[in-house]
Structure 1
Amino acid sequence: MIEMLVEMPRVAGLKPGDSYQGKNDARAARLYEKSLKMTAAGSGDEHAEIKTCNILTKALFAAGANGRVFLDALCERARRSYCLNAYASCLRDCECMLALPASFYDDSAENVKYFVQRRKECLQLERECSRKLEGNASFRKHRGRTSYSSSSSLSLGKRIAAMPVVDGKPHDCLASCSDSVELRLDEARGRHLVAARDIRPGAVLIVDQPFSFSTDGPALSRNCLYCHATLKLEDSVKIPCRNCQTVSFCTETCRKKAWEAYHQYECSVFDHFFENSSNDRRQQTASYLLLAYRTTVLQALSLRDNVETKCVLNPDFLRYHASDKGFDDIDKEYTKSKSRRIYNPLDYRTVFQLETHCTDVEPNVNLIRTIQAIFLAKCLLSVLSKLDVEDCMKEIFVPLAVAMLHHLQAINCNAYEIVENVHEEVTRVWEPRNIGGAIYTTVSLVNHSCYPNVVRHSYPSGIVVVRALRFIGKGCEILDCYGPQFLSESRMARRELLWKKYRFLCECDACTQDWKFPLPETMYYKCTACFEPTDISVININISQKVTNQQCTKCQKMIELKKLEKQLRKSIQKRLNAVAKIYQGNYKDAIPLLFEHVYFVNKHLVEPNIEGIKTEQCIVQCYNSLGLISV
């Protein structure tokens, strides 16, 4: 289809031009002058100082990095941060200044002298901030998760939780997994993960890195383009791209890494991805387009070390997207020859193996994606043509377009959200907010349930952590939720959504048994010997105190009802105590209480039950506070 469409005159003649918000030195100068006037007229009020810093940030983003206004705005913002005792912010500006190459200003002796003078000012500020922070014991205690040296202020002051590691030993083959899970394959469920042993609630099963990720349009101004950290914390600053005004970074280090990995290939065409993305659906499409583009860039240009080297397409890329063999043949070869190979989420072969459902979707959908893929390939060629690339453009165009199409198809049914959690002061609840999308090839091995037994949380740099939400018995399948849960959607609505997007009819417990929500208050016990449900309800025990024992109708085991009721009341009190701690913001102390209660509920009560749902929602809230957060 791609080869047919590219021969059409309108497609063949399409040459996408630059589409980005470039620098505007005149506007930057006006903003800088405005900040100086505000400083002269200011009264030293903290609110006025913050407002001045915001104007300096706007000037910084509008200014070209090789001009004096950029140097002035950067130094002035660093000084303002220092005056506000925001030493971490000051250090980030100093880092940005000290990373500027002298070659930007070597066109005249006067400019070189000016650059050296500003550099000296930032070196002095850096020393002063380092001294302040090293002498502040309370700062070290509060921020002590990260080390600091005067030459590396990358993570100083950032509110980042310690990165979790998988429980138990790392898996022999699944690089991102604990050895508590194993990979299985069958015709009905495809590739899927099951528990290799009994798994306790809260166990970390997967810590997965994204092969590639993108940022949603609304998050471009409030989150770092590279690590997705929020830019709204009091010790954060916005570091601009040196070429455009659209994207932001939390540190100079993030800016440099993003530029080297992918942003140099997208900067000049960046606005093409987000044109006409006014509603949620179009915003997701824009994010998916950027994700497909970056996935192609990361694989096709992975041998291109820097701008000076000639562009050489990765041989693996050509093997997959320019080979005479079909995709299925290559996939079978890999599966057969590499059956015991480490399943690495950063290995492109794991991306290539993701399901696309391209033969199942409507022809018009495939046509739209093909047109999008061709446009993305032309955008990439347009960028490469400016980098003095000597490869034959016509020869590499079709493989690039084929790769773009393959990634668009796979992303539609395999992409996951990158989420930050925002704390609502009134409700004291952490509400999730999407900030981007990513390809996680290990998490993609997990099948869906409308009543999942694991939960995902995003961490910096797009890393996702998967934890057990409740007890998972040995041999039971690890189940994630792809979107619709029985708590919020009817069975028909869930199945319709899942069929349209993922092409399967959900047969999880919630669907096959048609669980309804809200759940009834009546809960039933199950036998701890045969694990079968009983007709003994918690409400009946409360009413009839004379009944103390009853036999299980399945295995005849005697159930001590009075003792069980006492244990349940005691366990429920643990949940209530945990809720009080959550309300006070003491999440870490709440988690063990919730685990104890959810373990009791899993063991003694028939699913689904309202007590288990309440407890799991509290557990999710606790972990929301420990991952990627914003204000």
Structure 2
Amino acid sequence: MANQYGDKLYMAICSEKTLQTNSNGFFMNFAQLVSENAGEIWIKNIFGHNTVIDCGSSLSLALWSRSQVLLSLNEYSLALADIQLALKESLPNIYKAEAFWKMGICYKALNEENRANVSFGLAEKLFASKLKIEDLGRDKMAKFVQNKKEDRRILPSIQGKPHPLFPCASKKLTVKQKEGMGRYVIANEDIKTGETLVVEPPYAACLLPDMFGTHCHHCFDRLVSPIGCPDCSNVAFCKMECRQAALSSYHTYECKFLDLLIGSGMSILSHTALRMITQNSLKRCLEIYKDRKKEKVYSLCTNSSLRSPEDFLQRTLMAAFLLRCLQKIIPTDEEYRIGELLLFHLQMLQFNAHEIYETRYLPDRRFKGSKATYIGVAVYPTVALFNHDCYPAVTRHFVGKKIVIKAARPLQPQDVVAENYGPIFTRKCLQERQRSLSSRYWFNCQCNACIFNWPTLDAGLEPYSIRIKCSNKKCSYYFTLPVSSQILKCPKCQETISLTEQIQLLKWCDEQYDVGHKTMNENQPEKAMDILCTAIDAFHRISCAPHKGTHLAQESLHLCVADSGNVHETLVNK
């Protein structure tokens, strides 16, 4: 019977809400993308009239079907993983002979001849059809080639020998401590632009919930042929090794209440605080509680003495909430110790966590218009020791979950090696930077860019006075250009010096910056990095910041460096 009040559009909206009530979730976007690719005709005429009841074989059949698609794409490694998992999930007997046949093809493509022969042999024993056996025989003699996709990610090694106390960092760095600055990092040797100073895996890392449908929950790689958790439908993994690693530690616990965590609206930092517990056994957590000095992450600042009672209460309640989620697993007589660790995590991560990002770009524009998109959060005990500067000495990018720190300009012994916590002087004015840093990190920045109020790129840096260093290497005086004569007396060292060579070198630097930008836009990032690093080093020998051309060159250098880390080609400019 027709409903006179029926509204098909409203009906569709109500139906969608039974699947997803959170407007920020990814499911309906995913469903819409699948619908657009499948097409209206297929959905109405084929999918809508083919309801399948498979007596519990849905997963194995789905894996089997996907393996056939992957085989057609020459993705033999992924196809093999799907076939093996389908067999493990009780693939119906009618498919088993063909499954071993296809496994043989995959092993051949992966140059594992012995395993290929074993798989082909099992298939021959199971096949009753002579035609199938003849086809199999042809495949045994055929050549198959694994599809090789370009992976531009390169995990570099640190420059020189590792630091004795911080093995993820170069020996060229030293950690100091000073009242008012806390712990900070300085150079103890000359460092050139582009040198790799730190390569560090995270102590703990969490993927953003919005990325659960696009990235591996464990290693943060992009999903191509995802594998789900056997007990929940919240997360996905890129391969069995990642699933096993997660199930053998944190996901065993989090799986049971992940919906509750996300539904609570808690931050990714709160989730990371929990992950620092769930990734360890109870025994290991209690060992950490007993002697925290052995773990560098527990020496990071919390600013607990500066917290308001209201803030401390909120973090205590969050620690209690997270502890309550764990209570069915962790013995109650140990709870208070775990709760204390959680409270420490919640305070420490506020000031020491790093957002992990990937660079997204359009197919026809590898650099121009590329954007950094945050995919997760992690804590890196070594990198957390770096102080902030609005004109940072280093640039950072990510390869998977690992953080890579490279020098963005040359450094001399005793120079502070600072990174940037977000607001950089070239893009944010003094007021915005100070407001952000004092609110987010609870300190007033006293770097040169703030003390001298350097203008942004868009607000006056172009005509900013350029300075040239005195040619006497022992002198630290800088002349402001233009000068009345290139041969003149230095007011500090009192020597008569010539600035001709420095002025010519400054012009050469600007020319090299242009060459570097052009080379980068011609999709030659490695060559561009060499050009830009050499010119940035040369500039700092004869001049000093701020200098618009140099800062633009450093931005290009950052893009080139990030291109060797997490990148993703997207069809959507967002």
Secondary structure class of the residue paired with 1:243: coil
For 1:73, give the aligned amino acid.
A
Alignment counterpart, residue 406 of structure 2, candidates 443, 467, 472: 467
Corresponding letter in the other structure for 1:242: P
CA distance in 1, matches of 2:258, 2:95: 32
Structure 1 residue 117: Cα displacement: 5.8
- 1:527 and 2:506 aligned: no
C-alpha distance in 1 between matches for 2:533 and 2:53: 54
Q: CA deviation at 1:267?
A: 0.8
Equivalent of 2:305 in 327, 350, 359: 359
What are the residue-to-residue correspondences of 1:452-463 with 2, within 5 Å?
452-460=392-400, 462-463=401-402
Q: Give TM-score, length-normalised by structure 2.
A: 0.78
Ranges in structure 2 where 5+ consecutive residues have no aligned partner? 1-18, 21-33, 43-51, 113-145, 570-574
Deviations 1:353-409 (A, max 9, x none): 111112211211111111111111111123x2xxxxxx7x33122222222111111
Partner of 2:6 in structure 1? none
Task: Tell me, in whole angstroms, the C-alpha distance in 2 between the residues paired with 1:88 and 1:226.
Answer: 19
Q: 1:260-299 counterparts in 2 under 5 A?
A: 260-275=248-263, 277=265, 285-299=266-280
Using the TM superposition, give the Cα deviation of residue 441 of structure 1 relative to its aligned residue in structure 2, in angstroms. Answer: 0.5
Q: Distance in 2 between matches of 1:593 and 1:240?
A: 45
Given the superposition, is the C-alpha separation of residues 514 and 78 from structure 1 closer, same or farther in structure 2, using an over 3 Å criterion? same
Structure 2 residue aligned with 1:373? 319
Q: How does 1:135-214 map to 2 (within 5 A)?
A: 157=149, 159=151, 161-214=153-206
Query: Match for residue 560 of structure 1?
Result: 498
Partner in structure 2 of residue 512 of structure 1: 451
Q: Give the whole-Å Cα distance in 1 for the aligned partners of 2:241 and 2:495.
A: 64
TM-score by length of 1: 0.71
- Say which SS state the counterpart of residue 176 (structure 2) adopts: strand
* CA distance 1:179–1:317, shift in 2 (3 Å): closer
**What is the CA distance between 1:449 and its match in structure 2?**
0.8
Aligned-partner Cα distance in 1 for 2:369–2:54: 41
- 2:239 maps to amino acid: T
Structure 1's unaligned 5+ residue stretches are: 1-19, 22-34, 39-46, 53-62, 106-113, 136-153, 278-284, 302-311, 321-330, 335-346, 385-390
Alpha-carbon spacing, 1:599–1:68, altered in 2? closer, same or farther (3 Å): same
Q: CA deviation at 1:470?
A: 0.5
- 2: CA distance between counterparts of 1:531 and 1:365? 51
Q: Partner of 1:253 in structure 2?
A: 241
- CA separation of 1:81 and 1:523: change in aligned 2, threshold 3 A: same
Q: What's 1:483 paired with?
A: 422
Corresponding residue number in structure 1 for 2:125: none
> Could you report, residue by residue, the CA deviation over 1:47-74 in whole angstroms, capped at 9, with x for unpaired residues?
779x99xxxxxxxxxx999931101010
Q: Quick one: structure 1 residues 503 and 85, their matched pair in 2 at CA, closer, same or farther if it must change by over 3 Å? A: same
> Which deviates further from its counterpart, 608-617 or 357-366?
357-366
Residue correspondence of structure 1 range 320-469 to structure 2 within 5 A = 334=293, 349-382=295-328, 384=329, 393-424=331-362, 425-426=364-365, 428-460=368-400, 462-469=401-408
Q: RMSD of the alignment, in Å? A: 3.1
Contact 2:477 2:492 in 1 (8 A): no
**Does residue 239 of the first structure (1) align with residue 231 of the second (2)?**
no
The answer (yes or no) to whether the contact 1:193–1:446 under 8 Å persists in 2 is yes
Q: Is the 8 A contact 1:88 1:156 kept in 2?
A: no
Find the aligned partners of 1:525 and 1:379 in 2 and give their Cα distance: 62
Question: 2: distance between equivalents of 1:70 and 1:592?
Answer: 50
Residue 580 of structure 1, aligned match among 518, 524, 528: 518
Residue 314 to residue 202, structure 1, CA distance change in 2 (3 Å): same
1:85 aligns with 2:29: no
Q: CA deviation at 1:484?
A: 1.4
Change (3 A) 1:570 1:515: closer
d(CA) in 2 for partners of 1:591, 1:458: 17
Matches of 2:454 and 2:387 in 1, distance apart?
19
Q: Which has the larger radius of gyration?
A: 2
**Conserved 8 A contact 2:154-2:399:** no
How far residue 551 of structure 1 moved from its aligned partner, in angstroms, is 3.2
Distance 1:318 1:565, change over 3 A: closer
Letter in 1 for 2:327: L
Structure 2 CA distance for partners of 1:476 and 1:484, relative to 1, 3 Å: same
CA distance in 2, matches of 1:584, 1:167: 28
Distance in 1 between residues matched to 2:468 and 2:99, nearest whole Å: 67
Q: CA deviation at 1:88?
A: 4.2
2-structure distance, mates of 1:88, 1:562: 62
CA 1:622–1:220: 2 relative to 1, 3 Å: same
Q: Report the more deviating stretch, 485-494 or 287-296.
A: 485-494
Tell me the CA shift for residue 594 of structure 1. Answer: 0.4
Instruction: Please tell me whether the aligned partners of residues 219 and 242 of structure 2 are also in contact (alpha carbons under 8 angstroms).
Output: yes
Q: Show CA shifts across 1:541-587 (max 9, x none).
A: 7xx8xx44233322244443343333333332222222122112110
Q: 1:389-430 deviations in whole A, cap 9, x for unaligned?
A: xx7x33122222222111111111111111111114456343
Distance (whole Å) between structure 2 residues aligned to residue 421 and residue 429 of structure 1: 10
**Whole-Å Cα distance in 2 between the matches of residues 191 and 66 of structure 1?**
62
Contact between 1:534 and 1:552, CA under 8 Å: does it hold in 2?
no
In 2, are the aligned partners of 1:201 and 1:469 still within 8 Å (CA)? Answer: yes
Q: Distance in 1 between matches of 2:542 and 2:446?
A: 25
Q: How many Å separate the matches in 2 of 1:313 and 1:165?
A: 30
Number of the residue aligned with 2:507: 569
Structure 1 residue 189: deviation in Å?
Answer: 1.8
What is the CA deviation profile of residues 207-265 of structure 1, one whole-angstrom value per residue up to 9, with x for unaligned ones? 1111111011211111111111122xxxx222211122221211111111111121111
Partner of 2:370, secondary structure, is strand
Q: Distance in 2 between the 1:441 and 1:119 partners? A: 49
Instruction: Give the secondary structure class of the aligned counterpart of 1:420.
Output: strand
Q: 1:261 to 1:65 in 2, by over 3 A?
A: farther
C-alpha separation between the residues in 2 aligned to 1:155 and 1:396? 52
SS in 2 for 1:213: strand
Work out the CA distance in 2 between the residues paired with 1:368 and 1:93. 45
Looking at structure 1, the residues matched to 385 and 305 of structure 2 have their Cα atoms a distance apart, in angstroms, of 21
* CA distance 1:525–1:401, shift in 2 (3 Å): same
